[in-house]
A and B are shown apart, each in its own frame.
Chain A
């Protein structure tokens, strides 16, 4: 199965809208026949809003946040405090939305740039702190229903329920339009492979922050409505019960699909009410739902329905369209220059005071025994583990301490020893995402949906020309995860080309290729150099490099021991010694 970027079958909106609409109709019928119907309907709307917000971070970005319940409680607390002191809804509600978003941005946001396994920790810590704060301050009782100015208001009842669904509807529309804009499309790459996201110039940390702030705003809105509906705020609104309900609804309905959020919420709200399960028992049921859905419905109810009734549209390969050239810029000096760069890991000096220069059209081969620092050198150049001393210049611009995604945008693309691709996306969309990311990953794109569509059509057409350059057109629709290792290498090169780079750095591109594939690769690299690109090729296959490299550089124990024409370097006694193990020096890295 090949997922298109966005993966939402946006050409079949009616088919997609059917399950949530059916769920809402069922909810309406159930509520109409129930003495407490209005309250149940409102509760479902509130939780749907909470869950749809949670999907931004949990589903789309694949981060397990445990703070959604806390944001819900914070929204409830803020609006209840202000409403009991007499402020009207038009004042309290925006504050209940903004404050959780602010907390998310200021307290949790900065940490989200770290590895994803810290997300549950930081969000759990925040949730615990907020819970303690509320426990200490006591709950709030006698919260009025929604009051507008001048005595007008909405009493609890059917109108209140419709009002809740009005707000939830607005939340659904926003989420829906976001899923087909850049945010939704790029989120797939970030979730699938953060390294690949960085390689195409996407800032995964910033996207996590955006998703997290959005989810907090939705949570705050849901909490505010909940406080007005129930008339009270207690510690239970902050704690585990809300969180596990939210997780269960999202997992059951479908983590990444707005409609799935509604389906899962309505199913569970109705099931809990119909069975009359007491509140203390509910987390048991919710927990079981999560375990069952994880095993048998990995994409939720909505995913199962889609597989059955609406398999994703086959990616239609557009006609190739050439990439517009990079605006020409006079460069004084070399294309890429490293000046005395050093990278230490604890006591190990993995890269020791290395200076290198690369001219346009040049292929610089980097050789050296295992552990001599070749990959670390590439990581230092590409921002993955920046140099601690020394400077790196790309076309005269200092890129030493830029993060990987900015280095990629600046014009230094790279490949990895193990190809880093978004495996669930098609071959074409792996490249198209790079094109689109280069054009702008701005969040404001939400207002320009039509523009995004054309931008992506263009990105796909341009991506075809990159695939054409590496002979991968035939596999355009294949998911990257099903490609052969050789084709995965080619795809990484196509993706690098899509960035319109000045320099491409390759980490062992020939490893695991057979003789024919190697010749093909050598031809391709020479072609790229002939177009004026500078190439750095880290490689063990000295014979392969000898055929293509303009110069060779040899590393040993992190130091540059020889650089120059290939024959001169290979005959250098220091190089021979390094390879034959005469220099078993200290300071090598694994």
Chain B
């Protein structure tokens, strides 16, 4: 494949990973617990697009985007009711445990309905290449990059520039204090989960659009986001998205030389090194725990 094409595709994959990690770390900060269903929510979103395309084959993928976002928001809100978030006597580990169960359920539902073989989703607009600098570059990859470039700053603006976003962050950082200030932390947790789930769904659709998707990908996508958070520093939003973005070119580069599994090995060893020698991560923890 042409080098430029390869680079653009790697960047597009990185953009998808960044979106996945972004949703993961937002939920992490909002709930104070790890959402182990996040990877399966990504594949679920991807398969929603696959299903929608098989019902309405004439429509372009981009038309499904708002529908999938809406469906994922509903799923996220349902999830908030299902997980024992700040339930009396429930530890943060219990939230993770419940989310692990939800993830297993989602993955099994997808497997039963679609099988485990990787499939491709609908194209956002139209497949094919456009000419760029004399070589063909995938239109889908450029569109994915474009979507991510719009979404990441939009999420940043939402969290930092709107009253609702600030309440969301406050509720995540110090639930007790936020509650004392009149913020309904339960509703905020639900909103955070909805936002994270929307991001997961959109990422899943983009992944299915250019690359392929399988119910088996869930844990792998989760692991990538989780590793990105650990390397960046616990709770670092921008850092996690950046690290996740960088994993994709590494994977692409390694895959051109040897099997893709080696890239997973490298990333995991990097993680262990970080945890052993620099457990604060690259940018330090964003959320300080009180002694």
Interchain CA distance A298-B87 in the complex, whole Å: 12
Binds A, one of B63-71, B102-110, B154-162, B249-257: B102-110
- Interchain CB contact under 8 A, B101 and A117: no
Q: Which residues of the partner chain A approach B111 to less than 8 Å between Cβ atoms?
A: 280
Nearest to B105 among chain A residues (CB) is A287
Interface residues of A in 367-384 (CB under 8 A from B): 375, 379, 384
Q: Is A122 an interface residue (CB 8 A)?
A: yes
Q: Is A284 an interface residue (CB 8 A)?
A: yes
Dominant SS at the B interface?
helix
- Interchain CB contact under 8 A, B105 and A284: yes
Binds B, one of A59-67, A355-363, A497-505, A541-549: A59-67
Q: Is B133 an interface residue (CB 8 A)?
A: no
Q: Is B1 an interface residue (CB 8 A)?
A: no
* Whole-angstrom distance between the Cβ of B28 and the nearest chain A Cβ: 9
Interface residues of A in 271-314 (CB under 8 A from B): 280-284, 286-288, 290-291, 294-295, 298
Identify which of B101, B234, B264, B275 contacts A128 (C-beta below 8 A): B264
Q: Is B165 an interface residue (CB 8 A)?
A: no
Q: Given that A122-B272, A281-B112 are contacting pairs, would A287 and B101 also be in contact in the complex, using a CB cutoff of 8 Å?
A: yes
* Whole-angstrom distance between the Cβ of B167 and the nearest chain A Cβ: 22
- Interchain CB contact under 8 A, A247 and B291: no
Q: Given that A117-B92, A195-B291, A379-B291 are contacting pairs, would A124 and B222 also be in contact in the complex, using a CB cutoff of 8 Å?
A: yes
Q: Is B176 an interface residue (CB 8 A)?
A: no
Identify which of B105, B226, B290 contacts A121 (C-beta below 8 A): B226
Identify which of A62, A135, A416 contacts B93 (C-beta below 8 A): A62
- Interchain CB contact under 8 A, A121 and B82: no
Dominant SS at the A interface?
helix
Interchain CA distance A70-B95 in the complex, whole Å: 22
Nearest to A117 among chain B residues (CB) is B34
- Interchain CB contact under 8 A, B219 and A128: yes
Number of interface residues of B (CB under 8 A): 47
Q: Given that A286-B104, A287-B108 are contacting pairs, would A132 and B291 also be in contact in the complex, using a CB cutoff of 8 Å?
A: no
Interchain CA distance A287-B269 in the complex, whole Å: 30
Interchain CA distance A251-B36 in the complex, whole Å: 17
Interchain CA distance A133-B291 in the complex, whole Å: 41
- Interchain CB contact under 8 A, B100 and A291: no
Q: Which residues of the partner chain B approach A66 to less than 8 Å between Cβ atoms?
A: 36, 100
Q: Contact flags (1/0) for B116-160 with A, using CB distance below 8 Å?
A: 000000000000000000000000000000000000000000000
Identify which of B96, B101, B265 contacts A291 (C-beta below 8 A): B101
- Given contact pairs A294-B84, A417-B291, a sample of 7 additional A-B residue pairs in the complex whose CB atoms are under 8 Å apart: A64-B96, A107-B272, A128-B264, A244-B101, A290-B100, A290-B101, A294-B98
Q: Please list the residues of chain B having a beta carbon within 8 angstroms of any beta carbon in chain A.
A: 33-34, 36, 82, 84, 89-94, 96-98, 100-105, 107-109, 111-112, 219-220, 222-223, 226-227, 230, 234, 259, 261, 264-265, 268, 271-272, 275-276, 279, 284, 289-291
Those 3 A-B pairs whose CB atoms lie nearest each other, nearest first: A290-B101, A287-B105, A283-B108
Q: Please list the residues of chain A having a beta carbon within 8 angstroms of any beta carbon in chain B.
A: 62-64, 66, 107, 110-111, 114-118, 120-122, 124-129, 132-133, 135-136, 195, 240, 244, 247-248, 251, 280-284, 286-288, 290-291, 294-295, 298, 346, 375, 379, 384, 416-418
